[in-house]
C-alpha cells in the first residue's frame, strides 16, 4: 500500500481506503455481517489504514462493525473517519427507501451524536469528524463550527471535514466549506464517468490545503466489471432505481475508455478507475465500494499498478467534456 498526507493534517492515510457503507448497509447487496467484519479486518492486513464510516450507516451498525473488526489493533495504527447529521435516533424507522432522513446540526445534537459514535467505535477520539451531506444553510451556521472546534480542543475530534452528497453535485457547498470554513477534508464523488464538479474543486483544494477524499470511483459498478447489458438489480439495491436506458448509454461510455486496461497495461478496469482518481494530487485517498474478498485484493493493489500518464488523463478529460462523443440523449416521449 502507498500513503498520502490528508491535506495539511498529520494524518498519513492509505491511498485506498475502506468505505464502510458498502458492508454496513444493504444498498450494495451485502447482507452478511460476518463477511463485512472479515473484509474490514483483511483490509488492514493488506495495508489499508483509513476507514470511512458514518453513524447513520445501518443505524450505528457501521461503527460497531468497525470496532469489532479492528479489535486488538492499536488505536494509533488506524485512521477512523465518521460522519454526523442525520437524526436516525428519532427517525430511523421512518426512512422511505433510500430517501434522506431529517438532519440536525444543532450543538446539542452534534455533542450527542459524537458521544454515541465514540461509544460504538470503542474509542475516545475520532481522527476525522465529517458533516454529513450538509446544505449551504448548515455550513453557514457559526454555532455548528464553534461546537466542532470546541470538541477539537477537548481532544475528542482531531480534524473536521465535510462530506458532500448524497449524490453528485453540491459545488456551492464544497467551495464554501473549503474557502470559508477551512475544513481539513472534503469528501466528493469523482470518477472517469463523473468528473464534475470535482475538477472545479481541485484548484481550490490546492489553494486552501484541503485534502480530498474520492468515493464511488467505479461509478457504482460501471468501472469495475459489475455491469452487463440488460442486467437488473434486486429491490433494496440502490442502483435499482436508475432510469431506463441509463445502463446501456453508460456502458457505451465505458467502451470509449478501454485503452486504459487493454493490451499490456497490467491493470484491470477497476484498478484503472482508482488510478484515475489518484492522478489528482489533491486526492488523498480513494474509497471504492468493496463487497467481496476478490474486490478487496484487486482494489488494494491498485496503487502498485502503472499510474495513468498525463496524456491518458487529458484524453479522459476530453472525452468527458464531449460526453464521450455519443449522440445527444433523447428526451423521454
Largest pairwise CA distance in the chain = 59
Determine the Cα–Cα distance for residues 219 and 259; give it in Å rounded to an integer: 18
Burial class (CB in 10 A: 0-12, 13-18, 19+), 58: buried
Identified catalytic residue from 3, 44, 51, 57: 57
Instruction: Please state, as a whole number, how many other Cβ atoms lie within 10 Å of the Cβ of residue 68.
Output: 15
Rounded Cα distance between 18 and 274, Å, is 13
Q: In this structure, are residues 218 and 275 in contact, taking their beta carbons and an 8 Å threshold?
A: no
- Cis, peptide link before residue 318, omega less than 30° from 0: no
Instruction: Note if 109 is an active site residue.
Output: no
> Half-sphere exposure of residue 73, counting CA atoms within 13 Å on the CB side?
21
Q: Which residues are marked as active site?
A: 57
Amino acid at each position: 500500500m502507498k500513503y498520502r498526507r490528508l491535506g495539511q493534517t498529520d494524518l498519513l492515510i492509505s491511498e485506498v481506503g475502506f468505505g464502510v457503507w458498502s458492508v454496513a448497509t444493504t444498498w450494495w447487496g451485502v447482507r452478511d455481517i460476518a463477511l463485512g467484519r472479515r473484509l474490514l479486518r483483511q483490509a488492514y492486513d493488506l495495508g489499508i489504514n483509513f476507514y470511512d464510516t458514518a453513524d447513520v450507516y445501518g443505524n450505528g451498525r457501521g461503527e460497531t462493525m468497525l470496532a469489532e473488526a479492528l479489535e486488538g489493533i492499536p488505536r494509533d495504527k488506524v485512521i477512523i473517519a465518521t460522519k454526523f447529521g442525520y437524526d436516525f435516533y428519532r427517525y430511523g424507522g421512518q426512512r422511505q427507501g433510500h430517501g434522506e432522513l431529517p438532519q440536525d446540526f444543532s450543538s446539542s445534537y452534534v455533542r450527542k451524536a459524537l458521544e454515541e459514535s465514540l461509544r460504538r467505535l470503542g474509542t475516545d477520539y475520532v481522527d476525522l469528524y465529517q458533516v454529513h451531506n450538509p446544505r449551504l444553510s448548515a455550513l453557514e451556521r457559526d454555532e455548528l463550527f464553534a461546537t466542532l472546534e470546541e470538541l477539537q480542543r477537548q481532544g475528542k475530534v482531531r480534524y473536521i471535514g465535510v462530506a458532500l452528497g448524497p449524490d453528485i453535485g453540491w459545488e456551492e457547498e464544497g467551495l464554501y466549506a473549503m474557502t470559508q470554513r477551512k475544513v481539513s477534508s472534503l469528501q466528493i464523488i469523482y470518477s472517469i464517468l463523473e468528473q464534475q464538479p470535482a475538477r472545479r474543486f481541485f484548484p481550490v483544494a490546492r489553494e486552501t490545503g484541503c485534502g480530498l477524499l474520492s468515493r464511488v470511483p467505479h461509478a457504482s459498478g460501471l468501472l469495475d466489471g459489475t455491469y452487463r447489458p440488460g442486467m437488473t438489480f434486486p429491490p433494496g439495491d440502490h442502483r435499482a432505481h436508475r432510469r431506463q436506458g441509463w445502463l446501456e448509454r453508460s456502458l457505451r461510455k465505458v467502451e470509449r475508455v478501454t485503452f486504459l486496461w487493454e493490451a499490456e497495461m497490467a491493470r484491470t478496469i477497476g484498478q484503472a478507475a482508482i488510478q484515475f482518481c489518484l492522478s489528482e494530487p489533491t486526492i488523498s485517498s480513494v474509497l471504492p465500494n468493496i463487497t467481496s474478498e476478490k474486490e478487496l485484493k484487486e482494489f488494494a493493489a491498485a496503487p502498485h499498478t502503472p499510474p495513468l500518464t498525463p496524456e491518458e488523463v487529458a484524453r479522459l478529460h476530453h472525452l468527458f467534456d464531449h460526453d464521450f462523443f455519443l449522440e445527444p440523449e433523447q428526451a423521454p416521449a
